[in-house]
C-alpha cells in the first residue's frame, strides 16, 4: 500500500481513538448524570466518525472498488445516537436525578410534575 | 402551518413517497457495495414495496423547500460545528479542575411546532457536543437542553436559534 494512504489511515484511526478515549474519560470524571450524557454523544460523532473514515480509505485502496459501508454506519449512528441520548435524559428527568444539582427551568418543572 | 402535503415531488397511490424510494435504493446499493443491474432492480423493488407497506404509518410527505440549503446546512454548518465543538468539549473534559464546569439546563423557545423540524433540531443539538436535548414540552413551545458549560444563557439560546433553527425553518418552509 502507498505510504501516503497508510499515513492517512493511521491519522484518522488515531484521531478517532483519541476522541473515543476522551469521551470515556469525560464520562468518568464528570460529576452528575446529565453531564455524563455528553460523553457518549461525543465518541459517536468524531470518535466513530474518524475510525469510519480510516476504514473507508483502507478498504477503498485494499479491496475491490470504493467502500460505502462506512457511510451507512456513520449515517445510522448519527440517526440513533441522539435518540438514545434523548431517552436517557428524559428518563433521568422523570426520575428526578437532577435534584440538588442544576436548577431546572420552569417549563421542565411543569413537565415532570410536582415533587412528591 | 404544517410542513407537509404539497410536496414539490408528486406522489401517488402506488408511489406514496418518491423521496423515500430514492433514499432506499441508494441505501441498498451502499449496503451491497456494488452497482449491478440486478441489485438496482432489487433495490428499486424494495424502494417501492417498503414505502407502500409503511404508508399508513406516515401518510404525510416532508416538504423540502430548499434542497440546496439542506445540503449546505448538513455538510458545512453541521460538520464544521461537530468538529469545532468536539475539540472544545474534549478540552473541557481533560481540564485539570473539572469542577470549573458550569453545567445547567437552558430553555429554548421554539418558533415552529412542526414535529419533524423539532426532531431534526433536537438531534442536531444532541450531536453537536456540549449540548444534549433533554425534553420537549407538551405544547411543543420549548425545548429543554442540557449544556455542559454555559457561561451566558441568553447567548447560548441565541446561538442555537440563529445557527440551527432558522435554517431548518427555511429548509422546510414553516
pTM to 2 decimal places? 0.80
Task: Closest CB to B135: pick one of A42, A83, A108.
Answer: A108
Largest distance between two CA atoms of chain B: 61
Q: What pLDDT score was predicted for residue B160?
A: 87
Can you say how many angstroms the Cα of residue A3 is from the centroid of all Cα atoms in its chain? 30
Which CB contacts under 8 angstroms, 24+ apart, belong to A39-43? Answer: A39/B93, A40/A81, A40/A85, A41/A81, A41/A82, A41/A85, A41/B126, A41/B127, A41/B129, A41/B132, A42/B86, A42/B89, A42/B90, A42/B129, A43/A19
* Among A residues 21-80, those touching chain B with beta carbons less than 8 Å apart: 22-23, 25-26, 29-32, 34-35, 37-39, 41-42, 44-46, 49, 65, 67-69, 71-72, 78-79
pLDDT, one tens digit per residue, over B143-160 is: 888 888 888 888 888 888
Beta strand ranges found along chain B (DSSP E) = 104-109, 131-136, 142-147
Q: What is the ipTM of this complex?
A: 0.76
Structure confidence at residue A11 as a pLDDT band (50, 70, 90): very high
Give exposure, A3-31, as e/b (b: 16+ Cβ within 10 Å). Answer: eeeeebbeebbebbeebbebbbebbeebe
Is pLDDT at B12 greater than 70 in this prediction?
A: no
A91 CB burial (10 A radius; 0-12, 13-18, 19+): exposed
For residue A83, the chain B residue with the least C-alpha distance is B123
Answer whether B105's CB lies under 8 Å from B146's CB: yes
Cβ contact, residue pair A86, B31, below 8 Å: no
Question: How many C-beta atoms surround the C-beta of residue A34 within 10 A?
Answer: 24
Can you say how many angstroms the Cα of residue B122 is from the centroid of all Cα atoms in its chain? 7
Structure confidence at residue B8 as a pLDDT band (50, 70, 90): very low
For residue B148, the chain A residue with the least C-alpha distance is A35
Is pLDDT at B5 greater than 60 in this prediction?
A: no
> By C-alpha distance, which of B108, B99, B98, B114 is closest to B1?
B114
B135 shares contact with chain A (CB less than 8 Å): yes
In this prediction, residues B152-171 reach a mean pLDDT of 86
Beta bridge mates, B147: B104, B131
Cβ contact, residue pair B83, A26, below 8 Å: no
Answer whether A5's CB lies under 8 Å from B46's CB: no
Cα–Cα distance measured from residue A50 to residue B16, given in angstroms and rounded to the nearest whole number: 37
pLDDT, one tens digit per residue, over A60-94 is: 887 767 778 888 888 888 888 888 888 888 888 87
Total beta-carbon pairs less than 8 A apart between chain A and chain B: 134
Structure confidence at residue B72 as a pLDDT band (50, 70, 90): confident
Q: Which three cell numbers stand for residue B160?
A: 442555537
> By C-alpha distance, which of B15, B4, B104, B14 is closest to B64?
B4
Higher pLDDT among residues B89 and A100, named by residue: B89
Cα–Cα distance measured from residue B40 to residue B134, given in angstroms and rounded to the nearest whole number: 41
For residue B149, the chain A residue with the least C-alpha distance is A35
Stretch among A59-63, B10-14, B124-128 having the lowest mean pLDDT: B10-14
Stretch among B53-57, B71-75, B162-166 having the lowest mean pLDDT: B53-57
Instruction: Name residues whose C-beta falls within 8 Å of residue B132's C-beta, 6 or more positions apart in sequence.
Output: A34, A37, A38, A41, A85, A86, A89, B125, B126, B145, B146
In this prediction, residues B159-172 reach a mean pLDDT of 86
Q: Give the domain ranges of chain A.
A: 3-112
Q: What pLDDT score was predicted for residue A105?
A: 59
CA distance A21 to chain B (A): 10
Higher pLDDT among residues A15 and A97, named by residue: A15
pLDDT, one tens digit per residue, over B95-125 is: 888 777 888 888 888 888 888 888 889 888 8
Is pLDDT at B4 greater than 80 in this prediction?
A: no
Cβ contact, residue pair A85, B130, below 8 Å: no
Q: What pLDDT score was predicted for residue A17?
A: 92
Is pLDDT at B40 greater than 80 in this prediction?
A: yes
Q: What pLDDT score was predicted for residue B82?
A: 86
Q: What's the full length of chain B, in residues? A: 174
In this prediction, residues B165-172 reach a mean pLDDT of 86
Amino acid at each position: 500500500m502507498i505510504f501516503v494512504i497508510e499515513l492517512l489511515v493511521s491519522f484518522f484511526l488515531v484521531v478517532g481513538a483519541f476522541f473515543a478515549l476522551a469521551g470515556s474519560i469525560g464520562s468518568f470524571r464528570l460529576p452528575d448524570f446529565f453531564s455524563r450524557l455528553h460523553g457518549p454523544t461525543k465518541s459517536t460523532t468524531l470518535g466513530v466518525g474518524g475510525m469510519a473514515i480510516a476504514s473507508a480509505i483502507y478498504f477503498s485502496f485494499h479491496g475491490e472498488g470504493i467502500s460505502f459501508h462506512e457511510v451507512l454506519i456513520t449515517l445510522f449512528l448519527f440517526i440513533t445516537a441522539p435518540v438514545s441520548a434523548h431517552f436517557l435524559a428524559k428518563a433521568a428527568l422523570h426520575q428526578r436525578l437532577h435534584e440538588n444539582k442544576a436548577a431546572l427551568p420552569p417549563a421542565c418543572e411543569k413537565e415532570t410534575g410536582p415533587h412528591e | 402551518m404544517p410542513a407537509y402535503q404539497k410536496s414539490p415531488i408528486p406522489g401517488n397511490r402506488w408511489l406514496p413517497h418518491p423521496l423515500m424510494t430514492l433514499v432506499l435504493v441508494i441505501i441498498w446499493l451502499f449496503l451491497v457495495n456494488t452497482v449491478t443491474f440486478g441489485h438496482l432492480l432489487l433495490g428499486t423493488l424494495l424502494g417501492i414495496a417498503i414505502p407502500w407497506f409503511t404508508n399508513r404509518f406516515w401518510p404525510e410527505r416532508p416538504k423540502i423547500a430548499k434542497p440546496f440549503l439542506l445540503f449546505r446546512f448538513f455538510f458545512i454548518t453541521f460538520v464544521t460545528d461537530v468538529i469545532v465543538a468536539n475539540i472544545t468539549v474534549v478540552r473541557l473534559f481533560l481540564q485539570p479542575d473539572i469542577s470549573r464546569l458550569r453545567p445547567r439546563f437552558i430553555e429554548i423557545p421554539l418558533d415552529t411546532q412542526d414535529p419533524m423540524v423539532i426532531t431534526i433540531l433536537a438531534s442536531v443539538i444532541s450531536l453537536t457536543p456540549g449540548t444534549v436535548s433533554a425534553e420537549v414540552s407538551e405544547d411543543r413551545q420549548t425545548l429543554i437542553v442540557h449544556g455542559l458549560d454555559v457561561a451566558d444563557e441568553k447567548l447560548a439560546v441565541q446561538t442555537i436559534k440563529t445557527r440551527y433553527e432558522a435554517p431548518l425553518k427555511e429548509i422546510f418552509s414553516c
